[in-house]
Structure 1
């Protein structure tokens, strides 16, 4: 095979043999093949860099770690929500108890209707001094602050309840009233003619006559210090009311209490009779202050001021 080469400059032709062109063609073929192979290797190396197995494993590990962290976060969030629900329930229960205690104190203190209403929020106010953009506090901090306010309020109410309780105790131990439910005063305190010999004699108490077996009541709360027979008194009940006050109920037909018993105001302690130095059914009533007898009359008509 022969190849004819024509020159444009001289217009002449030259014949070239095929064995002389073969090396040139071979060079071009090898060059193109090298370029192709190099491109293939380059693309192959980029593909391996993109889908490298170690990178895939690393990414998968990160995904698994994030999924586990997300699950822990969800569990923690649910626990916090449940804890807040429990805390709110506790606060609600405490507020209910406070309202109940407040209503009780209002009743005990005999306050005017509407003067202190636990069902209404407290009234607040004041002049406007400009608004301040405040950062909302953390929800848990708000609950803690509310809890502290409730504790302070409960403490104040306990103190108030204690004071009212003391006031009630003072009212109960306040010596006042008649030692009988039915009957009339038959003899007063002071000098009188002795009913047995007619001589002038001192009478340490007042006498209330009535029906035999009728009730004798305590004029104040206290502790029984004597319950039995005593010379001249017959069957006697003696009650210590504290603050130096002692009352005596004599000539009883029957005693219904024992030494050491705690009695309340208006409790029946004995039944009217005529035991001891007596001319008929009645109760001899004495009031002693710091060991000395005083006129019971001022205590009979006494009105408690509590």
Structure 2
């Protein structure tokens, strides 16, 4: 085999004769270059694309375990909240049941029209729905939230009805307490009526503007209605006297007492002891002189004594 080498500068050529071993060596070099280049090219991309080493893999596994733990915690919290909501729902239902039972009982006691206070039924309500804009979907809360909101609304409604009923009953109780009725004593008898009579001191015909109830000295003298004490002291002719203003133009007087149990400005209840029976003032013995005034003028107490309480 001949190899010709050209010289670029002098345009000369030289010829070499290669033997058998030389030819084998040259062939091996020629074939080895492409193979080496291929292997080198195959190895370089593999090293450059190997992005996930052991540390990266461990980090990913750790993050995955963290997410799984967070999901488990969230599920447990959701279960606990659902349990709490269930208990709250039961508590609200029990409270509503008690309110309904109480309301119905109060309506029965007060002898009110049952149609006015409807406990145990949904309150009447209405009104046009708000028109949503085109493409707008109204928010739909979860079902259990709607149930809780409905119960809360019912409880508020029952509470409002009970407040109204309480105010009505309080007003009725106040009216009953201020209603003049009954006798000003617990024990005793009527010893002198209202109107003209013979004066026990001089025997002359005289006007008696009240009713006398005789009894034991020291016996209780009670208010025939609730009111405010406007006099609690000695008064000419009456001795130790108590006067009570009951409103609506009514006043009552309790005279000839031995001891007063109230003072000026006190608020007294119906049936409360305001004095003890005595014989102070112009009196012939232990009794209470009872008078009723309406719009500043004395009226016959018998009308109110014969009344029964509301």
| TM-score where L is the length of structure 2 | 0.70
* Residues 1:294 and 1:236: Cα distance change in structure 2 (over 3 Å): same
Q: Map 1:1-306; keep pairs closer than 5 Å.
A: 17-46=20-49, 48=50, 50-51=51-52, 56=56, 63=63, 67=67, 70=70, 74=74, 81=81, 88=88, 98=99, 102=103, 105=106, 109=110, 122=121, 137-138=141-142, 139-140=144-145, 142-305=147-310
* Residues 1:91 and 1:32: Cα distance change in structure 2 (over 3 Å): same
Structure 1 residue ranges, 4+ long, deviating more than 4 angstroms after superposition? 66-71, 89-101, 121-124, 139-142
* Residues 1:28 and 1:233: Cα distance change in structure 2 (over 3 Å): same
RMSD over aligned Cα atoms: 4.4
1:53 Cα shift? 10
Aligned length: 276
Correspondence for 2:12: none
Distance in 2 separating the partners of 1:107 and 1:96: 17
1:96 Cα shift? 8.7
Determine helix, strand or coil for the equivalent of 1:251. strand
Distance in 2 separating the partners of 1:26 and 1:209: 152
1:219 Cα shift? 0.7
Unaligned runs of 5+ in 2: 1-18, 124-137
Distance in 1 separating the partners of 2:94 and 2:230: 45
Unaligned runs of 5+ in 1: 1-15, 125-133
